[in-house]
Amino acid sequence: MKLKLAQNSIFAILLRSSWWISALVALVLLAISQAVSSPLITTFLVFASVPFVVISVIAAWKQRNAPSAARIERTADAVRNMSWEAFSAVLHDGFSEDGCEVTRLQGEPADYLLRRQGRLAVVSAKRWKASRVGVQALRDLNARREAHEAHEGVYVTLGEISEQAQAYAKANQIRFMSETELAKLLPQL
């Protein structure tokens, strides 16, 4: 039986937040434990701080390679201001540096075929500036994914992803590459 943390529990929220927030809660509990005179309350507060310390460590480990919010914003702004030719070249270089064998696809709804360790991915990036991602663009990508017998599809976007598009992507081995993933892939921007 696999235990799953409730999405809106305090611990789940803290795991998605910056690591230092959990550490701050633990420090506050420890400071209060030193200020009270009752040994029972002191003991309780010390033990109550332990889960926050653990969550702080887990969150720090998960966030160790994550780009900062400022870097994500700089990358998104730089990418928004690029032409397709410039963005395509930067994206191609980013995939190559990430260890993928990159093949440009011409005249298709998809733009790249990526190969790494025997796995294939079809990438659609031409509509990266679209303000909203709908299902039709994902259907086109999925058709190309199936035609190339690829393991997954990757849709590059800076726009908002509709709920229908998220559901379709989840059901059809498509993942989104948004601002955060672009900042990781393109550290030079």
Cβ density class 42-65: b for 16+ within 10 Å, e for less: beebeeebebbbebbeebeeebee
Six token digits for residue 188: 């030079």
Statement: residue 73 has pLDDT above 90: yes
What does DSSP assign to residue 106? -
Rounded distance between C-alpha atoms, residue 10 and residue 7, angstroms: 9
pTM of the shown model: 0.73
Domain boundaries along the sequence of the chain: 10-62, 69-185
For residues 11-22, average pLDDT: 89
What does DSSP assign to residue 150? -
- Alpha helices in the chain, H assignment, sequence order: 10-16, 19-35, 39-62, 69-80, 84-97, 135-147, 163-171, 179-185
Which fold, 69-185? Trna Endonuclease; Chain: A, domain 1 (3.40.1350)
What's the whole-number average pLDDT of the chain?
A: 91
